[in-house]
Structure 1
């Protein structure tokens, strides 16, 4: 055997052994805890974050806590049996940079108490998750939490599904999810694959400005002009919405299987503002898949398609529409998507008001 070929084989063997050892030690092949960690679920942790660079605050830092089950909530800490409302969503549900006492879940719980009602609410938000990730939570995470029997599950969704276009939609294929198989096992359990996925997510978050950062809205121009690529509209109508509705249906099936009522909440964002029925969107043109142009008004049009799909599948009685509220302003957000404590307070109070109007508060 040539010396060069022998060297290549030896190095390849060492690399392969190294990959196998990493997967065995840190992957989710034998450890459910590692599997949850690889999927972005933090357990039994307490962090202090300096938030002065994100929004005006009297406190230099906030406390972010997750219990041993991976849930966030003061009154339900390590007590899943108390949970009456479970909230599921991405970073706008997780609220990484709001104090434990400032999340919209805590405001919602306090509003119940202020109205003479006892309600225990827990936060199962995971930064970066779309409805695909929420389905994985129902499959891999929630069944492992003993005594978790919520009466209501609030799904706060839409924004993270907006960017799942074209090649991403292939990964979101509902048939692939149902068939499982080796590829699905790798995506669920491989530490290396999930490290790649997280790095790709960070790159995408930076590109589309969905990561946590302070936006100077006084320097952000808005326009009434709509920019949205016709091909992008076609992809949404023919492909994305079909897959999205399938995922929403499966979330409903899960909620009902655990005897919980599924309620969906559409998400507000400052990529657009609505005033007197007129939509004003951010002026800057952005691109999906490097070729499909849209601006803030176009974003509103596409997000509305997702919200309409939720209503079509879940039914109007089970949808709280916060996306079209006209009173969102720059005090409510520190970037286009994430809320300040003021915004979270408004969300919690609005959810309570809507739950009352829909007949879910008695």
Structure 2
């Protein structure tokens, strides 16, 4: 009797929560929280001291999805934190500035920012399956590589994410609004405040190498996440074709470069757990360039457009406040470069 009463109460509570706090529009395990409103006060080079971070009904940064969806030219930007641009104002992220530039010639353009902090190509596959498959935009623009490299720099195996786990708690999390809110109660209240970030970004400060690097003769041997990255790109391409969604890949730019000025500087990135063996800034760039070259190669083989953004954005502090995240000037340059590429390659409707 007690068990039946408890079960009935839980069902009533679950139903009430779904009315008062509707679940996210896509899979609840994707951190796309709708209608977030937050004022930020970043202290970062090249970033305004006050910025707004808001999301639309889909949990993406950017304008609300157009009501005339099928008559508009719709783009979803997919990536990690270098796409999300968390600390930049809503209007200054590169997806928002791209939309502004496209609307000058194509007023019905819309760009949704689906960047998610920490997502690698594995996470991009999930977003393609759970979000892109559902809303079917005209195009996906994907900036990828830095977080895939991160797994190698952390010198650890790629962990399973929620989508690859099948224990009871993950089954419950995906289906119960009560469980979701209990999990997020410190972070999200009825989907109207942002998830609290565990770590804040910081401006890059160079530190000298303390000892020589220890690297294999072939740098690829130090990149255990590289084979999965290649396969994930091919999976994403196949998914986009199956969905009939256009796809544009972009290589990841970096502040670091393979020049004498960087040679004895540590290539650490604060969002990546440091391994015992440190690598220099030029080595990090050469490692990322391996991922970038592979993206260009896979796209060429699959006849998929690829903008080599890494070759277009200078390795300059004007454009990065840390190793990989864009300043406002950097985001503006990315938007200019992408808009020009779309027009020159006739990827926009005419």
The TM-score range, normalised by the shorter chain, is 0.7 to 0.9
- The partner residue of 2:56 within 46, 60, 67 is 67
Aligned-pair CA distance for 1:328 = 4.0
| 1:206-225 equivalences in 2 (<5 Å) | 212-215=201-204, 220=206
1:251, CA displacement in angstroms?
1.1
Q: Which one of 276, 280, 283 corresponds to residue 265 of structure 2?
A: 283
Residue correspondence of structure 1 range 98-113 to structure 2 within 5 A: 98-113=88-103
Aligned-residue RMSD, C-alpha: 4.1
1:149 corresponds to 2:136: yes
CA distance in 2, matches of 1:246, 1:184: 29
Q: 1:93 and 2:83 equivalent?
A: yes
Q: Report runs of 4+ in structure 1 exceeding 6 Å deviation.
A: none
Q: Post-superposition shift, 1:235?
A: 3.7
Residue 73 of structure 1: SS of its match in structure 2? Answer: coil
Q: Secondary structure at the match of 1:84?
A: strand
TM-score (norm 2): 0.72
What are the Cα deviations for residues 93-117 of structure 1, in whole angstroms up to 9, with x where unaligned? 1111111111111221222233466
Name structure 1 gaps, 5 residues minimum: 1-20, 26-30
Among 340, 344, 347, the residue aligned to 1:357: 344
The counterpart of 1:132, out of the listed 119, 122, 126, is: 122
User: 2:40 aligns to what SS in structure 1?
Assistant: strand
Provide TM-score, normalisation by structure 1: 0.70
Q: Is the 8 A contact 2:146 2:288 kept in 1?
A: yes
Stretch moving more, 341-350 or 102-111 = 102-111
Match of 2:37 in 1: 46
More helix by percentage: 1
Aligned pairs, number: 310
1:168 maps to 157
Q: In proportion to residue count, which structure has more strand? A: 1
